[in-house]
Chain A
Amino acid sequence: MSVGIIMLVHTALDRAEQVARHWMSAGCPVVLHVDAAVSSKQYQKLVQALKDQPNVRFCKRHVCEWGTWGLVAASQSASEMMLSQFEQVRHVYLSSGSCLPLRPVQELVDYLEARPRTDFIESATTHEVPWTVGGLSEERFVMRFPFSWKRNRYLFDKYVELQRLVGFKRKMPAGLVPHMGSQWWCLTRQTLSAILEDPEREVYDTYFKKVWIPDESYFQTLARLYSTNIESRSLTLSKFDFQGKPHIFYDDHLQLLRRSDCFVARKIWPRANKLYKVFLTDPAGAMAMAEPNPAKIDRIFSKAVERRTRGRPGLFMQSRFPNDGWENGVTCGRYSVFQGFSDLFEDFEPWLSKASGTQVHGHLFSPERVEYADRQTAINGALSDSAAQRDYNPIAFLASLIWNTRGERQCFQMGPMDEGAPMWFLAKDPNAQISVISGAWAVPLFKSNRNFAELRRDAAYYQQLESEQLHVLRSPYVKARVRIWTMAEFIEAPMEPLQTIIDEMGHQRLRRLSEAPKMADLTGFGQFLQNLKNQGMHPYLMGDFPATLDGINQVKTPRKPYLVQ
């Protein structure tokens, strides 16, 4: 029996007893430290329960509040007792009451037997550890911390600020280089006794009593003075979340723990009956033949931390409602907005859906109703096509639509008449690809069979609305991919912009477009614009159209064929 176990216990004493018995049944002596905060009745119950065991000792009790010296004092008392009472012990393993051995104890004994001079203690200089809570890494060694972090956070913080302001610094005892690491270590008798019997120990203890979280630095720093062979890692599997609090293992982690390849895990939920049963009573089943896979545990817990700190982009829900600018992506995927295309081309929606393989909607923000693809009355996530529902919160509507259809790119049409559209939201969303043919709204007016006075009024109104929209899309705050053509520009060579847009969608096909959408017949459109001008309304958003009767007419002069092999 070359390994001695120290257990620091403060709750769930029955579980501690169970684990202590497990260690002892494999021949390892155990020294228990019970938190002085535990009632003496409970303490006596534990002492009585373990009365039949010759290899168990109870050391002097200290109050162990998180982040204070008590935990170090407890480890010291227990270590002294272990070293003096069990002569044969070569390695001392520090564990807590909520630790659980995962592999047969004999394997740990053999493992340490084979490495008689190695100290297993995670010990890194302060610059190298990213996991310090409260941002105190070096400062924890040079400041004073008289106020409890748990109970008196306000005073704790204020006092730290004050010391920063004054520039207060304590002096470190000569010869020490501050190191930090997991408080769960396994040290050799040589190293541990050298630390405990150091003539300077008084000095070190006095110093560390005022250090913040000394249990993560006392042994970690002093071991560097004496150890000949430090293996800087903890044999105890312990995962911490973003607040520096250990993750807890439950029954459903059984398979994960089985394959973790670690000797000891913490922290175990005291009511995880299955874990205790499997690992303590079934030596063969403790660590099954399965391939060790510690990385999987890492993945699960680092994912949990990421979910808590970064969340899922584009999701707004009951427990994630980011402030402006903190969304980490206001929508969860890329989407495309087309303005003017369905006016200029007669079959734009079916064409786009065929050419790009995406879901193509009509005017989502049309004042009458939400025009989903195929004009369905509801869509993914049971989003309704009611305009009132959409207009109640247009941003939530759009974010929900993109979230509900994640994995499939969405395209939709816009127009100046869609006044409810959240223009600023679209413009500031890097996921949006916005393409505008300005002035194309005039085509349906041109095609309609209405009185010219009405047309003139609508045209003036639409032109004003669209110019407001363009104003937003040209602002310096735009993060979307915005392209704006005047209608005159666009019909010069319509295939090139279309090709660029489709290519940018990044879908599977990288070949050239073989089929063009059918452009509306624009014969007479120039004259129509001229008529508007003659009536005193100046249409400028569509660019320069020749006013001659047959100026714009794509049938007259056949263009290059679009088919490119």
Chain B
Amino acid sequence: MQGELAGGGLRQARSGRSLKRAMPVWVGTLALLLPTYLWLTLAIFLPLLGMLVFSFLTKAPFGNAKPAFTFDQYLAFVRQPYLIDVAWTSLRLALVTTGLCMILGLAAAMALKQAASGRARTILFMLIILPFWTNGLIRIFSWTMVLREGGFIDMVIRAFWPGAPSIGLLYSEPAIIIGLVHGYLPYMILTCFISLLAIDDDLIDAARSLGARNYVIFGKIILPLALPGLISGAVLTFVPVIGCFMEPRILGGRVGVTMGTVIEDQFTSAFNWPRGAAFSFSMLALVLVVFALFSSVLRQGGIAREDG
């Protein structure tokens, strides 16, 4: 046995290979990274750059058109003040939706943690997340069934009060907000619940043993520790909502004029692409400004996490 293990026969067979030199590491790294980043460049970075160029042109440079450089597309916000109102509508929708989602989402996550445990909790959790896996369009569309004149809500009310007038929520801002909250609440519950799960129950018992009341426990322990979840949920909600156009179109009708629908119009019916590009970039700027404002909160959240 010893002879077998000590045998040098195998080594002989391999000595021919030992001359091979190692390939430089960076070649492999580059080969791994290049496809992804070329793809992203083609699909995201170059288009964004192209859109930036477009937003400073008088007209789209297609065919024989001779576009010139201009700031006009951005000045539209000054010349057509209703655009400011539209931008404010988008921002308001995004802020209200995000705020409602944060309140409801955190409450639901806390309720989920408290009301059930083990298998029951997993099933409840799955039930909450499930709707999020269906197409957003369909979920928005389903609200028209509930909110429209003579829809589900009216039916329920008339069952108790025959001849009641229609609530007629469809085609109003509340309808849009209901639809948006419905769309993004599962996200928020998910991120908050994950944060809450990480909180050790002993921590709350310890606080209670030190004489903390419920509101102190909530304010000093649960909220700071759930903050990372709340914030990532807020980002996941805010970004799509500020750009939304399908939800206001379907649930808002004529009321639902947002930056999203204005941009959609510029690209699909007005065909003023430079104008649309300028609006898209203004929205991007708005998103970045809001992120910058909230980044201080984000940083505090980071500190809270490190402390914990």
Tell whether A pairs with B. no
B residues with a Cβ closer than 8 A to A are: none
